[in-house]
Structure 1
Amino acid sequence: MNSKPLSNFILLFVVVSSLTLLTAFTAGATELQSAPDFTLKSNTGENLRLEEQQGNVVIVNFWASWCAPCREELPHFDAMQKEYEDLGFTVLAVNVDEYPEKANNLLNDIPVSFPVLFDNQDQVSKLYDVRAMPTTVIIDRDGNKRLTHYGYKSGDEAKYETVVKALLRE
C-alpha cells in the first residue's frame, strides 16, 4: 500500500489548519490605533482640544453644511449627547466648510447641544483620512479609535449608539 497520498493529505491538512488558526489570531489581535490629537476653534469662540476629552467616549463627526446626510444625522447625535452626556460621552462636530458662517447658518435651523469645531483648512480632516461626508469616528476613554464610518444612511445612528453603549460600559 502506498502511503504517499495519505502523507500528502496530512501535510496539506496541517498547513491549512495552521493558516486558519493564524488568520483567526491575527484578526482578533488587531492593535488599537490612537486617535490623533487636535485643537480647533469652536462655535463659542474657545479652542477645544481632543486630548482634554480623555476619559470620555467621544464621537468626532466630520460634516459640511452642503451635505444632506449630515443634516439628517446631526439631530441623532444631539439626542445621543443629551442621553449619555452624564455617563462620560460627548460629540465633537467638526465642520469642514471653508467659511464657518455657512455652518452657523445651518445650526440656526438645526440647533445642537454639543461643541461645533471649525476645520476650514482641512488639517484635522487629513489627520483622520476623511474621504466622505459625513465621516464619523468613535473614540474610547483611552483615546483609541474604535470605529470609523464613512457616509451616512438612515439607521447608522443605531450602530453608533450600540458602539457607544459598549464603550461606556468598558
Structure 2
Amino acid sequence: MADSKSISQRISRIGFQTLSIILLGIICWSCSSNKPTETPKTEAQPEATSAEKKPEKTADITLTLSDAENFEELLAKQNGKVVLVDFWATWCVPCVKNFHHTVEWNQKYADEGLSVISVSMDESDEETQKAVLEFLKSKDADFTNILATATDDQDPMDTFEVDGGALPHYRVYDRSGKLIKKFSFADPDQQFTQEDIETAIQEALKQKPE
C-alpha cells in the first residue's frame, strides 16, 4: 500500500499539470484576442471623373430695329458675300416651321461665303420684341436679325417691298449685291420649296468673289 508521502507527491504532480494546462489556455486565448482584426478590403474606388465639359457659349443673339433704309445699308456691307434674306414673322406658321432651314443653311454655307439676315415683320412693341428674340435664341439663329420698322404710319411690308405682304418671303443676292432670286407666295402659281432656295444659294456661291 502506498505510503502517504508518495500519494502527496502524485497529487502535487497532477495539480501542477492541471495548472499548466489552464495557464497555457489563458495565454493562447489572450494572444488570439489581442491579434489585430483585419479590416475587410474594399475595392479601389474609381478616380473622380473630371467635370463634364460644358458646351461653348454661342455668340449672343440679338435683335435690332431697322427701317428699309438701314436695311439697304446693311446689305451694302455684305459686298463679296452671297446674302440670303428671310422675311418672316412669329404669327406666320410656315415661317416658323421652316425657319430651321435658314439656320442650317447659315451653318452649312457660312465658310463658303454665305451671309444670312432674318427680317421679322412682327409688331415692334416691347413685348413682341421679346417674343421674337426668344424664338431666335431657341433656334440658335446666330446671324444678323432685324425687326422691320417704318415711319409716318407706313406699313413695313410696303417699305421693305414684301410682295403682297405674303410671308414667308426669301431673297438671294449675289456677291456683287444684285438681287438674283426671289421666293414669294404672293403669286399662288409660283410655288417653291426649301430645296429651291438651297439650290439658288448653291448656284450663287459658285460665283467667285471679285
Task: Please indicate the TM-score interval, normalised by the length of the shorter structure.
Answer: 0.5 to 0.7
Name the TM-score, length of structure 1 as normaliser: 0.65
**Where does residue 77 of structure 1 map in the other structure?**
102
Higher fraction of strand: 1
Residue among 138, 146, 157 paired with 1:109? 138
Question: Does structure 1 conserve the Cα–Cα contact (< 8 Å) formed by 2:86 and 2:119?
Answer: yes
Q: 2:199, 2:205 → 1: CA distance?
A: 10
- Deviation of 1:127 after TM superposition, in Å, equals 3.6
Compute the displacement of 1:124 (Å): 7.3
Equivalent residue letter for 2:178 = N
Distance 2:162 2:92 in 1: 18
Give 1:10's aligned residue: none
Q: CA deviation at 1:102?
A: 2.8
Deviates more, 1:123-132 or 1:143-152: 123-132
Give structure 1 stretches of 5+ with no counterpart: 1-41
Identical residues among aligned pairs (%): 27
Deviations 1:101-145 (A, max 9, x none): 231132243331221111133547524334211110111111111
Indicate the SS of the match to 1:53.
Answer: coil
What is the alpha-carbon root mean square deviation over aligned residues? Answer: 2.7
The corresponding residue for 1:90 is 115
Q: Residue 128 of structure 1 aligns to which amino acid in structure 2?
A: E
- Between 1:67-76 and 1:116-125, the stretch displaced more is 116-125
Q: Greater Rg, structure 1 or structure 2?
A: 2
1:138 alignment partner, one of 164, 167, 172 = 172
Gaps in structure 2 of 5+ consecutive residues = 1-61
Question: Matches of 1:168 and 1:104 in 2, distance apart?
Answer: 29
The structural deviation recorded for 1:50 is 1.2
CA distance 1:82–1:108, shift in 2 (3 Å): closer
SS of corresponding position for 2:180: strand
Q: How do 1:1-170 and structure 2 match up within 5 A?
A: 43=63, 49-99=74-124, 100-121=129-150, 122-123=155-156, 126-131=159-164, 132-151=166-185, 156-170=193-207
Q: How far is 1:54 from its partner?
A: 1.1
Shift of 1:83: 0.7
Counterparts of 1:125 and 1:58 in 2: how far apart (Å)?
A: 21
TM-score with structure 2 length normalisation?
Answer: 0.54
1:65 partner SS: coil
